[in-house]
A = this chain, B = another copy of it.
Amino acid sequence: MSNKQHATTVYIGATDMVRIVQRKGLGRCIAELAARIERDFLRWHDFDLSARVACHSPHGVIELMPIGDARHFAFKYVNGHPENTRSGLPTVMAFGVLADVATGLPLVLSELTLVTAIRTAAMSAVAACRLARPDSRVMALIGNGAQSEFQAIAMRDLVGIRELRLFDVDPAASAKLAANLAGHGLTLTICNSTAEAVRGADIVTTLTADKNLATIITPAMIEPGMHINAVGGDCPGKTELHRGVLEAAAVFVEFEPQTRVEGDIQQMSADFAVTEFWHVLAGNQPGRRSADQVTVFDSVGFALEDYSALCFVSDAATELGIGNRIELVLQPADPKNLFGLLGSAALASLTSAAAPSQPASAPALQTVD
């Protein structure tokens, strides 16, 4: 093969990604990514938007989330397998690619599991800044799994949350969350039920993983002025809110066509009114209208957030000098001569294969494996 490498791809693996977050600091990563998400959501019409492609199986889902603007195409691969932790694997694993629209060249290939947690938390905080009451200080956090600390830190830094009320069906999860966040400026209370955690909260974040139509939050738990940040209900058959909660609230979504299928609003009729959140950022639509209004951000995770995340990772890797160049796609010395790079070794066998006595019809296909 030719050594001429016109262009290679920057690869940021899991260890590199952890180093990026460690060196920048988690708080700065969340804040920078939140700012990027805001900027990119304000460019809504620059993007070729589509709902993600999902492949469902009995144990989980694998999704591809593509998006592009005039300069960059991005996609994320992400799974959701709630039973994975039983065998030592994370529930969610992700990686993604940022590519050059002008040539199709993949520019960056990056691990995105950690970044998915960071961007989801950043998106929740961006939404809460517009949809929660400005004096929000207490958040209930229902579901204390792998992404929960990131939500807590984002809401603390960007929204002003100072007190967390935790609940998880697995007490060990709440204990882990409390231990991880001890000493980081948040008052933490582990509660015995969702209802207890939610009581008196300004913001309620639901972040449960079970792939079921669940009703974690019921109308009886809702208090005037609450903001509900519903993160865990994110695929068909997976919800967290009772429909009565949605009926009583102003509901905001990322990208309506995707959320209608995946979000908590999958329970509602197709004409149930929702507002795409970018309209709020752009000033086209109001966010919260009064201190008493109940608001819901029906978050499912949208490709645009991963576009922002991949751009963030790309810039951070360049800034810190982290990542390696790999030959993810072939660069033949002569781009019109793919065959030529195979050389004599691959082609030696071609002549013998062309012996005139060779049978040449469909059955030839059956003889190989």
List chain A positions with a Cβ less than 8 A from chain B. Answer: 1, 6-7, 11, 13-15, 17-18, 21-23, 25-28, 31-32, 34-35, 38, 48, 50, 53, 55-57, 59-62, 64, 66, 68, 70, 73, 75, 77, 79-81, 84-85, 87-91, 93-95, 97, 99, 101-106, 111, 113-114, 117, 126, 129-130, 134, 145-147, 149-150, 153, 156-162, 173, 176, 180, 183-186, 326-332, 335-343, 345-351, 353-356, 358, 360-362, 364-366, 368-369
Contacts and interface: CB of A to CB of B under 8 A. Distances in A.
Among A60, A114, A153, A173, residue most surrounded by chain B Cβ atoms (within 10 Å): A114
Q: Report, nearest first, the 8 A-B pairs whose CB atoms are least far apart.
A: A79-B104, A160-B360, A185-B354, A25-B349, A14-B327, A149-B339, A93-B329, A27-B353
Contact of A99 (B62, B97, B331, B366): B62
B104 A80 contact: yes
Contact of A335 (B90, B102, B338, B356): B90
Contacts of A362: 129-130
A55 to B, nearest CB: 4
Contacts of A73: 55, 62
Contacts of A102: 57, 59, 81
A64 B67 CA distance: 11
8 contacts: A13-B328, A64-B75, A77-B99, A113-B329, A113-B330, A146-B336, A150-B339, A185-B356
Contacts of A21: 342, 346
A81 B57 contact: no
A150 B17 CA distance: 39
A155 to B, nearest CB: 9
A2 to B, nearest CB: 9
Contacts of A14: 1, 327-331
Contact of A185 (B64, B160, B327, B351): B351
A329 to B, nearest CB: 4
A163 to B, nearest CB: 12
B350 A27 contact: yes
Contacts of A343: 22
Contacts of A176: 336-337, 340
Given A339-B180, A365-B126, A1 B15 contact: yes
A184 B31 CA distance: 61
A89 B6 contact: yes
Contacts of A350: 25-27, 153, 184-185
